[in-house]
Amino acid sequence: NPRLHVSLEERRSSCKHPIASRLFDLMMAKKSNLCVAADLPSLDEVITLAESIGPKIVVLKIHVDILEDFSLTKIRQLKEVARAHEFLIMEDRKFADIANTVQQQFHGGVYRISEWADLITAHPLPGPEMITHMFGDSSSDSRRTCGCVLILEMSTKNALTNEDYAKEAAKWGLIASDIVTGFVGQSAPNSDFPGWIQFTPGVNSSSASGDSKGQQYCSPAKAVLERGADIIIVGRGLINSQDVVATAETYRTEGWAALTQRITN
Ligand code: 5IU
């Protein structure tokens, strides 16, 4: 798989989406491929975490619907922190409906995700038309300000995202590579397009197995070297640690070392 060994500079130059280019720039500038899953109960806590670990991460992933104090004012505050420390905000909304509904979930409601998210996750389950129409028509600004991250595989035990599913969805994602900036997966799909980015969750250095609810974990090195991760997604392994800044530095160093090792090999 050529993507795995191509330099980040070269991959950046083949990107078809400004958010993907920006993410490559951030990775190179910050020497980081760390995305933190900030699954905390309030935006106040997310903002405090982001202020402390901001310099070490390239993406902060949130679930907007678990925040008890959500407001557009607070999300704008988080946006400010993201601007100051230079990281992207990923809303892990996992869209999975028909395009007409997804458009409303993306632009409307209380959360108005399209106003602030740099990256948004979506399941390919509804088919390729959902992907091409999720942001609205071709004049929609959000097509350039927000990148879709397609979920090809899940990290959980007995997930239904088998090889055929992931393969078919990867094809759709590649065809729509002006919309799809990357994908979530546990393995590297066969493709000679180096411009899209693999996000891999289920990374935790202190738990070799998983949680008691189906989540499965591996180390940062294994995620990058054996599973093809460009970006490692770390949640509880970091947010529950005593010293989040020191832990972020450890994950950043390990993740980055593995990525540079993979590229130079
Ligand atoms: N997440 C997964 N697995 C997946 C997908 C998303 O764990 O396949 I798609 C999310 C869920 C959570 C984070 O927000 O990534 C992982 O958190 P922990 O590192 O705390 O398990």
pLDDT tens-digit readout, 13-56: 999 999 999 999 999 999 999 999 999 999 999 999 999 999 99
**Closest by alpha carbon to 119, among 169, 156, 64?**
64
- 22 and 214 Cβ atoms separated by less than 8 Å: no
Nearest CA to ligand 1 atom 3: 155
Please tell me the distance between residue 137's alpha carbon and the centre of ligand 1 in angstroms.
Answer: 30
88-104 burial code (b ≥16 CB/10 A, e <16): bbbbbbebbbebeebbe
Task: Map tokens 């729509």 to a residue.
Answer: 176
Question: Band of the pLDDT at 57, cuts 50, 70, 90?
Answer: very high
Q: From the CB of 155, is ligand 1 less than 6 Å away?
A: yes
Distance CA 38, CA 84 (A): 18
Per-residue pLDDT, 265:
84
Does 235 contact ligand 1 (Cβ within 6 A)? yes
Does residue 134 have a pLDDT over 90?
yes
pLDDT at 138: 80
Nearest Cα neighbor of 70 from 122, 112, 103, 118 is 112
Q: Does any ligand 1 atom lie closer than 6 A to the CB of residue 60?
A: no
Positions marked catalytic: 94, 97
- Ligand 1, atom 17, lies closest to the CA of 235
Residue whose CA is closest, atom 5 of ligand 1? 154
Measured over the CA atoms of residue 189, residue 195, residue 201 and residue 202, the dihedral's sign is positive
Q: How far is the CA of 195 from the centre of ligand 1 (A)?
A: 23
Give the model confidence (pLDDT) of 177-215 as tens digits: 889 999 999 999 888 789 999 999 999 999 888 999 999
Mean of all residue pLDDT scores within the chain:
96
Three-state DSSP class for 184? strand
Residue 77 backbone class (left: φ over 0; alpha: ψ -120 to 50; beta: rest): alpha
For residue 2, is pLDDT > 80? no
Ligand 1 contacts CB of residue 123 (under 6 A)? no
Q: Is the pLDDT at 251 greater than 80, yes or no?
A: yes
**What one-letter code names the amino acid at 209?**
S
